[in-house]
Amino acid sequence: MSEPPGAAVSVTEAPPQADTPSPQLAAQRVLPLRRPGRWIATAVVLVLAAQFVHGLATNPFYQWDRFGYWFLRPAVLDGLLITLEVAAYSAVLGLLGGILLALARLSKSPVLRAVSWTYVWALRSIPLIVVLLFLYNFSALYKTLSVGVPFGPAFFSFDESRLATDMVIAVVGLSLNEAAYAAEVVRGGILSVDQGQHEAAAALGLPKGYQFRRIVFPQALRSITPNYVNQLIGLIKSTSLVFYVSLLDLFGTVQSMGSTYPGDIVPLLLVATVWYLILTSAVSVVQFYVERYYARGATRSLPPTPLQKLRAGLTDLRARIRREAAV
């Protein structure tokens, strides 16, 4: 208003009569609200965390030296490799199966819909361990697998015991199970794509396959990714069940080493735990970037990567320190 420009800087000189916006008010910084509750909670959490770490580090029960001995043992790494192989094959086959089942479920053919529904219903009802043991004993039930006319001649036949190695049984079992869950994840993703997208693709006369591959599925992947990764992490842990079809995965190795060296059971379990933690973390990192990739266009700007966040945080902090110093 008519105040001299210098008055805005020195707050003490002429305090404003009422709380109306004035140059004096504008020059004052607002003190942030103090949050004692937050500090108390932080202290409690820190104490608890410190106690937990202290317990982990000092309790002789964990035998960290034995953990160090086992962690990178070739037997453990072989087991880890089998876990990775089974999980990777099953994840890919399960997703492919899930996509086919979801498409069948969403198709106009009542037969395909019924088949897909029945498959999902059955495989979600039967425990994975039962599926695996069934497959394991499959060769006793059916000596050969053959392709041909029912009740008629067979064109090809396979000797089942040669085809079905432990690895194949494990992957087939997990994939069959995974496909049932993936089908629902994929179906949910496809349903989440706006109807207008289907219409626009149809109105442009885009070929059916192109509509799915390039228009609908990439958009569906945005909601499929978090759900499928959830599924995938479950799958990685389910691979521990392949121990029951005599495949020595990470858990199987740890289990059998534990029976050979009973004194090392706890460090061996820790080895398995840490490896599973590492696998899940790796999957989560991949998930972040996959989600970020499929967020293109869905949000106006992409979410920042951790590195970008760190840099922005540092810049903020520096600016804040400079501001504090200036006042």
Partner 1 sequence: MSTEVLTAEVLKNVAATVEVRDVHKWYGAHRVLNGVDLTVRPGEVTVILGPSGSGKSTLLRVINHLEKPEIGHVSVNGELIGVRRQGDRREMGVPPAEGWGRLKELSERAILTQRSRIGFVFQNFNLFPHLTVLDNVAAAPVATGKLSRAKAQELARELLVRVGLGDRTGAYPRQLSGGQQQRVAIARALALRPGVILFDEPTSALDPELVGEVLAVIKDLATSGTTLVIVTHEIGFAREIADRVVFIDGGRIVEQGPPSEVLDRPRHERTRDFLSKVL
Binding site for partner 1 (CB under 8 A): 194, 196-197, 199-208, 210, 214-215, 218-219, 294, 296-300
3-state helix, strand, coil in the chain (%, to 5): 75, 5, 20
Distance CA 209, CA 215 (A): 10
CB of 130 to partner 1, least distance (A): 41
What backbone torsions phi and psi does residue 171 show, to the nearest 5 degrees? -65, -45
CB of 109 to partner 1, least distance (A): 13
CB contact at 8 A, 164 and 138? yes
CB of 300 to partner 1, least distance (A): 6
Which alpha helices (H) appear in the chain, and where do they start and end?
23-27, 36-58, 64-71, 74-106, 110-125, 128-136, 138-141, 160-163, 166-191, 195-203, 208-210, 217-238, 250-260, 265-294, 306-326
Tell me the two tokens of residue 93.
């086959």
Distance CA 142, CA 69 (A): 45
CB of 214 to partner 1, least distance (A): 7
Distance CA 249, CA 252 (A): 5
For partner 1, the closer of residues 159 and 199 by Cβ is 199
For partner 1, the closer of residues 207 and 263 by Cβ is 207
Tell me the two tokens of residue 261.
């060296």
CB of 99 to partner 1, least distance (A): 18
Tell me the two tokens of residue 224.
């499929």
For partner 1, the closer of residues 163 and 204 by Cβ is 204
CB of 136 to partner 1, least distance (A): 43
For partner 1, the closer of residues 201 and 272 by Cβ is 201
Contacts of 139 (CB under 8 A, 6+ apart): 160, 161, 164
CB contact at 8 A, 103 and 183? no
For partner 1, the closer of residues 29 and 300 by Cβ is 300
CB of 202 to partner 1, least distance (A): 6
Q: Which 3 state secondary structure label does DSSP give 111? A: helix
For partner 1, the closer of residues 20 and 195 by Cβ is 195
Q: Which 3 state secondary structure label does DSSP give 303? A: coil
For partner 1, the closer of residues 66 and 222 by Cβ is 222
For partner 1, the closer of residues 174 and 193 by Cβ is 193
CB of 103 to partner 1, least distance (A): 15
Distance CA 205, CA 208 (A): 9
Tell me the two tokens of residue 89.
């094959």
CB of 289 to partner 1, least distance (A): 16
For partner 1, the closer of residues 115 and 206 by Cβ is 206
Q: Which 3 state secondary structure label does DSSP give 145? A: strand
Distance CA 277, CA 55 (A): 19
Tell me the two tokens of residue 149.
């006319």
